[in-house]
A and B are shown apart, each in its own frame.
Chain A
Amino acid sequence: MNRGTALRHAAAIAVTAFALFPILFVVSAALNPLGTLSSATLLPEGAGLGNLRALFTTTPFLTWYANSILIAGLTAVLSVAVSALSAYAFSRFRFAGRRTGLVTLLIIQAFPQFLAIVPLYVIFSVISDNWPAFGLNSVWGVTLLYVGGQVGVNTWLIKGFFDTIPKELDDAMLIDGCTPGQAFRRVILPLSAPVLAISALLVFIATINEFLVASVFLTGDDSRTLAVGLFSLLADQRNANFGIFAAGTLLTAIPTVAVFQFLQRYIVHGLTAGAVKG
């Protein structure tokens, strides 16, 4: 190994250390038998599953987890489904208002939904009065809101991919007597499985991490998500609950990190392909 390569390794190791040390701290705090912030160290000094046990016995962690998975999973599936439908129309049909529709979607997706938190709160108060199942403090209501916030971005994302599928394929189907619906289901959807999966994954992760809307809308014990629940855990007892919190963080990370590593190849490829467009 020559000097240049050695320097490169030194730099890479330093950056890796920077990237890893907070994560290492979380692992060691989660294993720390004392469970407090003040006794947590960078490297584990003892190992016990006490924090994990406390997490399940003293907090409704499973409820939070289930809520988060339910909300994020449903939001991912529904928003991708709705977006795929509209993306198909924008990609394959030519109709009056198509251009306006696309530009509107583009502009709207630039405005983060949570900026309108005040009117959204007012709207959902009205919904609560009339249809409590979809109102404040309901996972269904928040899911609906998130879906509404994600369809604009995803329509563009998926339409971009549909455009790369040769139109001759579905034209052949149409000539053979298929309806556009059949062409959509049998040709377009199977061919775009990877992009649908990635869109769903991105929505899933974004939704799991969402805090602002969830903290305003979901305040009941039964409806909290992981973000709101873990936040409240530290708000009560910052020092004492840190070990429990760290254990919860690790359990939250497992699914996302796993899926992320699994899909990393696609994501890198996607980022690149998008990046070179400039």
Chain B
Amino acid sequence: MSTRQARTGKAVLPGPQDTGTPPDEPVARVRRARALPGREPRRGAPVRGWPGNAGAIAARFLTLGLIVAVALWAAAPLVSAQNWTGTAIVAAVTVAGLYVYLTPRRLPAKYLFPVTLLILALQVFPVVHTMSLALTNIGDGHLGTKQEAITAIETSSVRREPGSAEYRLTVAERDGEPVFLLAEGARAYVGTAAGLRPLEGATFGPGGRITAAEGYTVLTVAQASARGAEVTGLSVPVEGGAIRSQGLSRAYRGTAQLSYDAACDCVTGPDPAAASGSGSGDGDGDGEAVPQKVWQADEEQGRFVAVDGTALPQGWKVDVGPANLTAALTDPQVNAHFLGVLGWNVVYALSVVALTAALGIAVALVLHHPRMRAVRAYRTLIVLPYAMPAFAMLLVWRDMFNTDFGLVNRMSGLEVDWLGEPLTARLSVLLVQLWLGFPYMFLIATGALQTIPSEYLEAAQVDGATAWHRFRKVTFPLLMLALAPLLVSSFAFNFNNFNGVFLITAGGPFPADNPAVGATDLLITYTFRLAFGQQGAQYGLASAMSVYVYLIVAVISIISFRRTRVFKEVDR
């Protein structure tokens, strides 16, 4: 709910002035009158120099120091990672910041710099990036570059060979990621998924293992074994192979079975599928028994594919053009989901708006009567759902609908699986959203009712209109005039009401044969599951879905801007 408040922000404010202004002419006059005094001093006054007093100079030095300090802090890791694009961006932003804040001129940019930076980095760039991701196959198995995929293929195929180097292993942690601290005699190394580096400042314990190292947190045996899968999964790429753990105190340097050959742009080696089948000999070196296989790089799919059609699991990110976007409309597997979800999404948003508005207006009308007592008490209680933390109340509702333990079934004596059947699940999410949303509509309808001049209604009464006629012909049209923009924003909010569905049904119930799309799924919950669901990340397809939602949002906002004539305000 509160998100809605923020989103429909325009409406929430003691609004600007123009409540009763007749159209254009006076506004234009006001505008002219306002623009003038703003410009005059600037035109007339001589160009201002640097302010001379000590405080202002100190403030300038402080600003300079602050900007430079932040810039250095931001640039340091980029430079050490040799990320020159990032460094260039930091440098450009710093120069812009220094110019804006140190020039003696009165620049509006002094006030706009932070907002510009935030909007560009956290709103514009993500939207543009969504569109570019939508044109790729990015997702699980296609996250990085081809070189990274090759490294991953080679290191994951590492087998131990007799006589290979061995290390004393200490499992440690840095920034939440497990790392290997490796000791080979008196030499210390640190191994991560990025590679092997010499380690300085390590403390050796008895037995030759490293017991402490600056910047790393050594894990206890219990901590390390709790993260066993991460530890065994970590392989440190080195020339021709990788270092992997054997237990928690030793690591070995193994040889890659699969290797990439740039000449043929392919990966060759024993078939891992066959190798695991005949792998009973376990490292005895009966290599001839396993057939060699060739996986050719396929630049369109971003994978290494063998002649028989099987592919290695590690691929890389490639451009797939508009394939993800067209899949939503033409791919029979995807488009049934997409169109079905879109349809329910529209029905959901429309129903929520209609239901909340109807109940909200009705309650406002009931309480809006000169002879009603205790109106304030009613109002205080009725708006409570709006003030409660929405996420928690959604979870409470979900559990009230629980089949076995839920309040609804226990009080009614029914045994209905409310959230397990498509129809009841849909009705349930609508009912919950009605509960959450009607107090908001009640509040704004109450406010709007109070602004309807009583003269109108009295005049209608004098003319002999019945109570129903007065409502139908006077109150209701005036209410709608006031509420229409808010209904549009409410529609826009509910169109993407992630919490309202995800926290109750998580999109479900899901048909037994198709766990990808549930009966209450909105586009946003469907997209979320595509990207972060159990079935592996399909970021590319998820981004394509987001692009469609963007288009729909854009249409809604154009309608709403037209209606509220908000563009005019720009020119004030």
Contact = CB atoms under 8 A, between A and B. Distances in A.
Interface of A: 2, 5, 8-9, 11-12, 15-16, 18-20, 22-23, 25-26, 36-38, 40-42, 82-83, 85-86, 88-89, 92-95, 98-99, 101-123, 128-132, 137, 144-145, 147-157, 160-161, 163-164, 167-168, 171, 174-175, 179-180, 194-195, 198-199, 202-203, 205-206, 208-212, 216, 220, 226-227, 230-231, 234, 238-239, 242, 245-246, 248-249, 252-253, 256-257, 260-261, 264, 266-278
Nearest to A257: B387
A256 B385 CA distance: 11
Nearest to A277: B15
B539 A118 contact: yes
A123 B129 CA distance: 9
B210 interface: no
Interface of B: 1-3, 5-7, 9-19, 34-35, 37-39, 41, 73-74, 77-78, 81, 83, 86, 106, 108-112, 114-115, 118-119, 121-127, 129-130, 133, 175-176, 359, 362-363, 366-367, 369, 371-372, 378, 380-393, 395-397, 399-400, 402, 404-407, 410-411, 435, 439, 443-444, 446-448, 450-451, 481-486, 492, 496, 498-499, 502-503, 524, 527-528, 531-532, 539, 542-543, 546, 549-550, 553-554, 556-557, 560-561, 563-564, 566-567, 569-572
Contact of A89 (B34, B77, B112, B129): B112
Contact of B382 (A19, A26, A144, A195): A19
Q: Which of A2, A205, A261 has the most CB of B within 10 A?
A: A205
A144 B123 CA distance: 12
A112 to B, nearest CB: 5
A23 B384 contact: yes
A115 B396 contact: no
B13 A270 contact: yes
A123 B126 contact: yes
A94 B527 CA distance: 42
A161 B380 contact: no
Nearest to A28: B407
Contacts of B492: 110
Nearest 9 Cβ contacts at the A-B interface: A148-B122, A272-B447, A116-B126, A205-B2, A274-B11, A119-B129, A89-B111, A38-B405, A110-B557
Given A209-B390, A238-B399, A275-B11, A25 B371 contact: no
Q: Which of B121, B124, B387, B550 has the most CB of A within 10 A?
A: B387
Interface majority SS (helix, strand, loop, mixed), chain A: helix
A186 to B, nearest CB: 16
A117 to B, nearest CB: 7
Q: Which of A89, A194, A242 has the most CB of B within 10 A?
A: A89
Contacts of B386: 260
24 contacts: A12-B372, A16-B382, A38-B404, A82-B115, A86-B114, A93-B111, A102-B570, A108-B124, A116-B130, A118-B531, A119-B125, A151-B118, A151-B119, A167-B38, A171-B37, A195-B14, A203-B6, A211-B499, A227-B392, A245-B395, A246-B396, A270-B14, A275-B444, A275-B448
B543 A95 contact: no
B36 to A, nearest CB: 10
A248 B392 contact: yes
A194 B14 contact: yes
Contacts of B2: 202, 205-206, 208-209
Contact of A86 (B77, B111, B380): B111
A15 B382 contact: yes
Contacts of A137: 176
B9 A8 contact: no
Contacts of B391: 209, 211, 226-227, 230-231
Contact of B395 (A111, A231, A239): A231
Contacts of A118: 130, 133, 531, 539, 542-543, 546
Contacts of A130: 77-78, 81, 83, 86
A70 B266 CA distance: 52
B420 to A, nearest CB: 15
